[in-house]
Amino acid sequence: MKTYYLKINPEQFESSQLMPAADILVSGGLVAFPTETVYGLGAVVDHETALQNIFQVKGRPGDNPLILHIWHHRQLSGIVETVDPRYQKLIDAFWPGPLTLIFPKKANISPTVTAGLPTVAVRMPSHPVARELLRLVDRPVAAPSANLSGRPSPTRGEHVREDLDGKIPMIIDAGPCQAGIESTVLLLAEKPYILRPGSVTREMVEEILQEPVEVVTSGEKVDRPQAPGMKYRHYAPEAPVTLVEGEELAVIAAINRMIEETGENVVVLAFSEHLDCYRNVTVLDLGPRESPWIAAARLYDLLRSCDQMKAGRIYVEGLEKTGVGTAVENRLFKAAGGNVIHVS
């Protein structure tokens, strides 16, 4: 299949430029499109073959549910059974934006979307290109990240091309994604749980709900299947990743010791302040230690450049687990397949 590559300037574009993309979606084709989190691989919710193609193209396990994307609040009533008043507060505060909410689903929503769960995940993206595309289509669009399953998520049009060229009819390239990590996924049970941390942080949700929110990424505390991202190495570059956490100087010392014991092609992901602390290895810049949102925006691009450099081994300095740092640490934990060293 020939993939049409559509370049769009997100600050200045005409709706008509997106019409071919909307036509492809409406007729059951797949389109990769930019959002403020990562690039998504979209299919309209009511086209079963298109939904199944998402799983086929990505090599995605069928037990991993998809998130539905909407542009207008009125679309919610066609998808979900009820809206908890606590959700309404979060919707008012964070939509459009990188927060996915899990609702009881309407019967008409395909089990392909929900992986057979009684719930459906919904979000309203804020990216102008995503919003305009969703407006033109005017049906909910199911979209996971537009990468091959297991690889780092795509935060640039080129990343989507690396993974999906020749497999889908269209990629819309609107430059780098602002947030760079996937949306926060929130479930309200008897208590609120964050199932996947993102750039809408626990602290931000707590302020709106005025109650404590727990971050549970393994699913052990909530009554639902474990999120598949936990079972496998995920978001991962080809080389093995070691995440080193602990006191700043101890982390640098530990990574330097491991560099001496390791063979060729070591890459270190370090904070801007520490770029000079490592000798004879490639060091990539995570941004300042105090600005984890910069690490979030760069993370997947850095992991993909490790592949391009044919890294043999990757060491990453750990982040503080507060604010957006929690989300970056979560992705690194999965990229490392749980290979985390704590030093002090």
- Chain contacts with ligand AMP (rule: CB under 6 A): 64-65, 67, 102, 114, 117, 119-121, 144-145, 182, 185, 195-196, 227-229
Residue 204 interface partner, choices Mg ion, ligand AMP, none, CB cut-off 5-8 Å depending on type: none
Nearest distance from C-beta of residue 72 to ligand AMP, angstroms: 20
Cβ-based nearer residue to Mg ion, 164 or 266? 164
258 exposed, middle or buried (CB, 10 Å; 0-12, 13-18, 19+)? middle
Nearest distance from C-beta of residue 64 to ligand AMP, angstroms: 5
First to last CA, the chain: 53
Nearest distance from C-beta of residue 301 to Mg ion, angstroms: 16
Cβ-based nearer residue to ligand AMP, 157 or 266? 157
Residue 119 interface partner, choices Mg ion, ligand AMP, none, CB cut-off 5-8 Å depending on type: ligand AMP
Cβ-based nearer residue to Mg ion, 112 or 145? 145
Cβ-based nearer residue to ligand AMP, 81 or 273? 81
Question: Which tokens sit at 37?
Answer: 């989190």
Cβ-based nearer residue to Mg ion, 119 or 145? 145
Find the farthest-apart pair of alpha carbons in the chain and give their distance in angstroms, rounded. Answer: 59
Cβ-based nearer residue to Mg ion, 65 or 97? 65
Three-state DSSP class for 57?
Answer: helix
Residue 264, C-beta contacts closer than 8 angstroms, at least 6 positions apart: 312
- The residues of the shown chain that bind Mg ion, judged by CB under 5 A, are 144-145
Q: Within 10 Å of residue 6's Cβ, how many Cβ atoms?
A: 19
Cβ-based nearer residue to Mg ion, 196 or 313? 196
Please identify the residue of the shown chain whose CB is closest to the bound ligand AMP: 144
Nearest distance from C-beta of residue 196 to Mg ion, angstroms: 10
Contact between residue 164 and residue 57 where contact means Cβ atoms under 8 Å apart: yes
Residue 245, C-beta contacts closer than 8 angstroms, at least 6 positions apart: 251, 318, 329, 340, 341, 342, 343
Residue 192 interface partner, choices Mg ion, ligand AMP, none, CB cut-off 5-8 Å depending on type: none
Residue 325 interface partner, choices ligand AMP, Mg ion, none, CB cut-off 5-8 Å depending on type: none
Nearest distance from C-beta of residue 187 to ligand AMP, angstroms: 6
Residue 4, C-beta contacts closer than 8 angstroms, at least 6 positions apart: 20, 169, 170, 171
Residue 229 interface partner, choices Mg ion, ligand AMP, none, CB cut-off 5-8 Å depending on type: ligand AMP
Nearest distance from C-beta of residue 63 to Mg ion, angstroms: 14
Residue 120 interface partner, choices ligand AMP, Mg ion, none, CB cut-off 5-8 Å depending on type: ligand AMP
Could you give the CA distance from residue 283 to residue 266 in angstroms, rounded to a whole number?
9
Cβ-based nearer residue to Mg ion, 35 or 145? 145
The single residue listed with the structure tokens 């459009």 is 96
Nearest distance from C-beta of residue 219 to ligand AMP, angstroms: 8
Please identify the residue of the shown chain whose CB is closest to the bound Mg ion: 145
Residue 35 interface partner, choices ligand AMP, Mg ion, none, CB cut-off 5-8 Å depending on type: none
96 prior amide bond cis, ω within 30: yes
Nearest distance from C-beta of residue 262 to Mg ion, angstroms: 29
Question: How far is the CA of 127 from the CAs of 13, 33, 70, 73, in angstroms?
Answer: 13, 10, 12, 16
Residue 154 interface partner, choices Mg ion, ligand AMP, none, CB cut-off 5-8 Å depending on type: none
Closest CA to 126 of 38, 196, 35: 35
- Strands (DSSP E) along the chain, which ranges? 4-7, 31-33, 40-44, 67-69, 99-104, 119-123, 141-142, 170-173, 184-188, 192-196, 214-215, 241-246, 266-270, 282-285, 313-317, 340-343
